[in-house]
Amino acid sequence: MKKKKNKKRSQFGEVWHRLKKNKIAVASLIILILIFLTSALAPVLAPYNYDQEDFNASFAKPSKEHLLGTDRLGRDILSRLLYGSQQSLKIGIYSTAFAAVAGILLGALAGYYGGRIDNLIMRFLDIYQGIPMFLLCVTLAAVLGPSLRNAIIAIAISSVPGYARMMRASILTVGEMEYIEAARAINATDKRIILKHIIPNAISPLIVMITMSMGSSVLAGAGMSFIGLGVQAPIPEWGAMISDARSFLRGHGELALYPGICVIITVLAFNLLGDGLRDALDPRLKN
Amino acid sequence: MSALLDVRNLKKYFKTGGGMLHAVDDITFTLEAGKTIGVVGESGCGKTTLGRTVLHLLEPTDGQVFFDGEDITSPTKEELKKIRENMQIIFQDPYSSLDPRMSVSESISEPLVIQNKMTKAEIQEETMSLMETVGLAERFENSYPHELDGGRRQRIGIARALALKPKFIVCDEPVSALDVSIQAQVINLMLDLQEERGLAYMFVTHDLSVVKYISDDIMVMYLGQMVEKAPANELFSQPLHPYSKALLSAIPLPDIDKKAKRIIMQGEITSPINPKPGCRFMSRCRFACEACKEPQKLEEASANHFVACCRYKEI
Amino acid sequence: MSENILEIRDLVVEYHTDDEVIHAVNNVRLSVKKGETIGLVGETGAGKTTIARSILRILPVPPAKVIGGEIFFEGQDIMKISEAEMRKIRGNRISMIFQDPMTALNPIETVGFQIREAILLHNKIKKVDAQERACKMLEMVGIPMDRYNEYPHQFSGGMKQRVVIAMALACNPELLLADEPTTALDVTIQAQVLDMMKDLKERLGTSVILITHDLGVVADSCDSVAVIYAGEIVEYGTAVHIFKTPTHPYTVGLFNSLPRLDSTERRLKPIKGLMPDPTNLPKGCKFCDRCPHATEKCSTSVPEVVEVTPGHLVKCFLSEVK
């Protein structure tokens, strides 16, 4: 009698089923996968090393040897874009991961325990948010010294409050639901309530937020590198490449254009995927 | 014979910006095994809070609760665990009282998993038998609550409440969210279960026709206080408190011959925040007099029929 | 017999989602006489609200789709007129009261202002005159004029529903659609609101379509009743017909499901089973799966509407035989 008559579709399966219907989100997902793949396979795909200079081919036009041409030092643009994506994605992923973990933890503490702990955490974050984000990044990078790692730390720290706030709000909403009380009525411990009931139900908006802020982190990373506080030469990074191209905008605008397009596509794809996830994760929009 | 549940002078106050909200104020009643007490009243009268406080889901402000002769007013963690195995609750809203991310069998087996006394296979077996008891087909085992209708969801809620084999269940408006034809199915199920398992119910509702049908005794609450308590039939045939009279007359009957003469209440509802000591219904009562400004005592008008009104004999 | 103010003919409404079609309203015919209160009774998802929304043309499109049918209001087919013309009718000659008074009022405007705006929207009169009329409306629903400048949160639930009713009646509509107007209220407050609505109806001669699931409310307020099941009217008649001689098995089942105050039986007699899935309705009679009298014929062919006694219509094979 142990036949499963009803096919069980996991939560993930449900979300995927709904996400599949959103063509733009699926396209974004595919683009992101492609970006990740090309970045991971950069050493294989790139025709040249990113710092391989060829002074004879300075500012070369696109050709068979250099598909997208070369820069002032004769470095292959395509190779630099491919390697650059590694740095940009690193900033996006690491800073988001760090910020999300710290923010979710703080928000969960504040939301579940409430009272004094809540007050302490939230007031601290209030003060902290009084400092403009970009200024904070710049200051941190300036103090710690410009490098990829410090740019990641700076961006992560500045986006912690957002996660904390959203997690707290989400937990407060879920905490008021009757099924939390129902769990208490059957002797569930605090730990079980948090892990089994609150987090699975409160996490949806955070998944969306994480996806979207990957995009903005990539952008912030590019911004930091642009002003010279992020990745240092000769390691390529999209923001840094735009920065390098600044001086030649008039004659060789395409040097700024290529990395710019890369940044735009990546950020856009993250945002559109986030949008799609928001719809897919909302069980009210079922059907 | 001592009562299964003995509630004495139970009080639950909430602190609000404007002062103390007297949600449950000095409620005393007893309930015997296998019987049902109905608690009726309008929204905000404290009937839901009463149920939660009896179950210790809310900490009582004052008063005592005895269960099976034991004082369970301020239990230790271990005692609380035992209380919860004997006393359960069925919630009003089958939509919000089930975790949307748990399947039917996960929801029903959760109390057993937490209790941690059975093996996995035993739990699985018990879950299946619970599903059968409440009339849920086996094929719903892996469905999620949002895929089911209100009646089936409420059956999940009932199965969950039954899982630990309690002796007493607080039913907080268990059928108000359901359609009439489904409501009747669920009420019949609850009556069957009561007979089979000797359950005692505390049936909290605003629906007077349902409560008459299912209860042995009925308690009428008004702004946190019990204004009348009587055997079900007697309350409906001879309500004594002016509020009970108005409440009963207001029920629209599905019958075009019996157009009841309604008692329409005038006046504003007294605030339950820092109420004055007198009768709380006074502001809407046609018979209010000077004596009503004094605290009203609960009097036994006839056998097992209590009323808290100083003028009940005259009106 | 007075003439009909509203006539619905063969209304069909569907909701189209990505992968299914919900048959919400199926061939509904209904007429409302002048000054009459008609009750639409049915369970959740029976299509009551969809019918009301179709009359006002406020269905959410998409997913809703009116597949066919005509709705005549005072002889004019309101399915065919332009949106601009419809706007002149909506809220002016036909108005609607929603179930939840808490969300029907704008929390940041005073109640008086909201009623005045409703009047000004449809009448070219001076502000002071509109204000005067708004005051009168409030008095009429039993709210003292001096509460004109108060905000919705300062009113209790029953009072708010009165304000909503005052607003709906402010333009002297000929037809009022009341969608579960008292479901969110306590019994004692419900009694007050029902009494007030009856009183107003008598004074203003408004026709009312009262949507409810509560047969008690219907018995209390309605002249005639349409019982709706799975998007179809299965029984229609005067209140006397429905309450004295319920004929369709569904109507009978509904009455048996009710816990009666005067009964001493220990068990209710519920209708077995559940409402059919509106995306996949039975081919024959929609009720056949749950009907205690169902025969082979019921599951294959759709019964015709039969007039069992004048004015009492039943959609069931059992009545055809008689």
Q: What is the mean pLDDT of chain B?
A: 85
DSSP string, C111-131: HHHHHHHHHHHH----HHHHH
Nearest chain C Cα to B191, which residue?
C267
Rounded to the nearest angstrom, the minimum Cα separation between A287 and chain C is 7
Determine contact: C216 vs chain B, CB below 8 A.
yes
Is residue B246 in a domain?
yes
Rounded to the nearest angstrom, the minimum Cα separation between C2 and chain A is 45
* Predicted confidence (pLDDT) at residue C85 exceeds the cutoff of 60: yes
Give the distance, in angstroms, between the CA of residue B274 and the centroid of all CA atoms in the same chain.
24
Q: Worst-scoring range by mean pLDDT, A29-43, B279-293, C237-251? A: B279-293
Rounded to the nearest angstrom, the minimum Cα separation between B193 and chain A is 19
Percent of chain C with pLDDT over 70: 97
**Chain A residues with CB within 8 Å of chain B CB:** 1, 4-8, 11, 177-179, 181-189, 192, 196-197, 200-201, 283, 286
Instruction: Using an 8 Å CB-CB cutoff, list chain B residues near A201.
Output: 99-101
Is residue B161 in a domain?
no
The answer to whether B227 and B194 have CB atoms below 8 angstroms apart is no
- What is the band of C321 on the pLDDT scale with cuts at 50, 70, 90? low
pLDDT higher at B107 or C140: B107
Q: Which pair of tokens denotes residue B130?
A: 């619970």
Look at residues A191, A13, A10, A2 and name the one whose alpha carbon lies nearest to residue B127: A2
* Predicted confidence (pLDDT) at residue A5 exceeds the cutoff of 70: no
8 Å CB contact of A6 and B98:
no
Interval A78-131: pLDDT, tens: 888 888 888 888 888 999 999 999 998 888 888 888 888 889 998 988 888 887
Instruction: Using an 8 Å CB-CB cutoff, list chain C residues near A287.
Output: 17-20
Interval A140-166: pLDDT, tens: 877 888 888 888 888 888 888 889 999
Interval B151-179: pLDDT, tens: 888 889 999 988 888 999 999 888 887 88
Q: Which of the other chains make 3 or more beta carbon contacts under 8 angstroms with chain B?
A: A, C
Burial C206-231 (b: 16+ CB within 10 A, else e): bbbbbbbbbbbbbbbbbebbbbbbbb
In this complex, the residue of C44, C156, C268 whose CB is nearest that of residue B187 is: C268
Interval C213-266: pLDDT, tens: 888 888 888 889 999 988 888 999 888 888 888 888 899 888 888 887 666 667
Nearest chain C Cα to B186, which residue?
C270
User: What does the alpha-carbon distance between residue B157 and residue B160 come to, in Å, rounded to a whole number?
Assistant: 5
8 Å CB contact of B110 and A188:
yes
8 Å CB contact of C216 and B254:
yes
Is residue B79 in a domain?
no
| pLDDT for residue A1 | 31
Q: Worst-scoring range by mean pLDDT, A3-17, B238-252, B301-315, C16-30? A: A3-17
Is residue B253 in a domain?
yes
8 Å CB contact of B264 and C156:
no
| pLDDT for residue A6 | 41
| pLDDT for residue A98 | 92
What is the rounded average pLDDT of the residues C117-130? 84
User: What does the alpha-carbon distance between residue C185 and residue C161 come to, in Å, rounded to a whole number?
Assistant: 9
Nearest chain C Cα to B265, which residue?
C188
Q: Which of the other chains make 3 or more beta carbon contacts under 8 angstroms with chain C?
A: A, B
Look at residues A250, B133, B149 and name the one whose alpha carbon lies nearest to residue C276: B149
In this complex, the residue of B88, B110, B141 whose CB is nearest that of residue A6 is: B141
Instruction: Using an 8 Å CB-CB cutoff, list chain C residues near B247.
Output: 187-188
Interval B218-243: pLDDT, tens: 999 988 889 999 998 888 888 899 88
Q: Which of A21, A23, A287 to mutate to test the interface with C (most CBs of C within 10 A)?
A: A287
Could you tell me the residue ranges of all domains in chain A? Answer: 74-282
What is the rounded average pLDDT of the residues C314-319? 84
- What is the band of C17 on the pLDDT scale with cuts at 50, 70, 90? confident
Instruction: Using an 8 Å CB-CB cutoff, list chain B residues near A181.
Output: 52, 57, 91, 97
Q: What is the mean pLDDT of chain A?
A: 83
In this complex, the residue of A6, A181, A187 whose CB is nearest that of residue B81 is: A187
| pLDDT for residue C64 | 82
Is residue B308 in a domain?
yes
8 Å CB contact of B111 and A187:
yes
pLDDT higher at C275 or A104: A104
**Which residue segment(s) compose the domain that B268 sits in?**
241-315
Interval B13-30: pLDDT, tens: 888 777 788 888 888 999
What is the rounded average pLDDT of the residues B37-56? 88
What is the rounded average pLDDT of the residues B242-258? 82
What is the rounded average pLDDT of the residues B28-33? 90
Give the distance, in angstroms, between the CA of residue B112 and the centroid of all CA atoms in the same chain.
24
The answer to whether C73 and C94 have CB atoms below 8 angstroms apart is yes
Instruction: Using an 8 Å CB-CB cutoff, list chain C residues near A21.
Output: 18
User: What does the alpha-carbon distance between residue C172 and residue C94 come to, in Å, rounded to a whole number?
Assistant: 9
Q: Worst-scoring range by mean pLDDT, A36-50, A86-100, B218-232, B252-266? A: B252-266
Give the dihedral sign, CA B177/A192/B12/B160: positive
Determine contact: A9 vs chain C, CB below 8 A.
no
Instruction: Using an 8 Å CB-CB cutoff, list chain B residues near A196.
Output: 99
In this complex, the residue of B42, B180, B251 whose CB is nearest that of residue C257 is: B180
Is residue B102 in a domain?
no
Determine contact: B85 vs chain A, CB below 8 A.
yes
* Predicted confidence (pLDDT) at residue A16 exceeds the cutoff of 60: yes
In this complex, the residue of B150, B151, B250 whose CB is nearest that of residue C187 is: B250
* Predicted confidence (pLDDT) at residue C298 exceeds the cutoff of 80: yes
Number of domains in chain B: 1
The answer to whether B208 and B40 have CB atoms below 8 angstroms apart is yes
- What is the band of A11 on the pLDDT scale with cuts at 50, 70, 90? low
Count residue pairs from B and C with Cβ separation < 8 A: 111
Determine contact: B247 vs chain C, CB below 8 A.
yes
* Predicted confidence (pLDDT) at residue C18 exceeds the cutoff of 80: no
- What is the band of B304 on the pLDDT scale with cuts at 50, 70, 90? confident
The answer to whether B94 and B157 have CB atoms below 8 angstroms apart is yes
Model confidence, pTM = 0.79
ipTM over 0.95: no
pLDDT higher at A130 or B88: B88
Interval C175-202: pLDDT, tens: 888 888 887 777 877 888 888 888 888 8
8 Å CB contact of B101 and A11:
yes
Nearest chain C Cα to B214, which residue?
C266
* Predicted confidence (pLDDT) at residue A7 exceeds the cutoff of 50: no
8 Å CB contact of C216 and B247:
no
Determine contact: B297 vs chain A, CB below 8 A.
no
| pLDDT for residue A3 | 34
Q: Which of A6, A191, A195 to mutate to test the interface with B (most CBs of B within 10 A)?
A: A6
Nearest chain B Cα to A198, which residue?
B99
**Which CATH number is associated with domain A74-282?**
1.10.3720.10
Nearest chain C Cα to A22, which residue?
C18
Q: Please state at what angle helix A204-226 crosses helix A77-113, rounded to 10 degrees.
A: 140
Instruction: Using an 8 Å CB-CB cutoff, list chain C residues near B35.
Output: none
- What is the band of A283 on the pLDDT scale with cuts at 50, 70, 90? low
Burial C112-126 (b: 16+ CB within 10 A, else e): bbbbbebbbebeeee
In chain A, which residue ranges form alpha helices assigned H by DSSP?
11-20, 23-40, 42-45, 77-113, 115-129, 133-144, 148-175, 178-185, 190-192, 199-202, 204-226, 238-245, 254-281
| pLDDT for residue A175 | 81
3-state helix, strand, coil in chain C (%, to 5): 35, 25, 40
Of C123-127, C187-191, C225-229, C290-294, highest mean pLDDT: C225-229
Read off the amino acid at residue B84.
R
| pLDDT for residue A190 | 83
Rounded to the nearest angstrom, the minimum Cα separation between B244 and chain C is 11
Interval A205-217: pLDDT, tens: 888 889 888 888 8
| pLDDT for residue B295 | 82
Which residues are C71's β-sheet partners? Answer: C8
Cα-only R_g, chain C: 21
What is the rounded average pLDDT of the residues C119-132? 85
* Predicted confidence (pLDDT) at residue A9 exceeds the cutoff of 60: no
Question: Given the structure tokens 């006539």, which residue do they identify?
Answer: C7
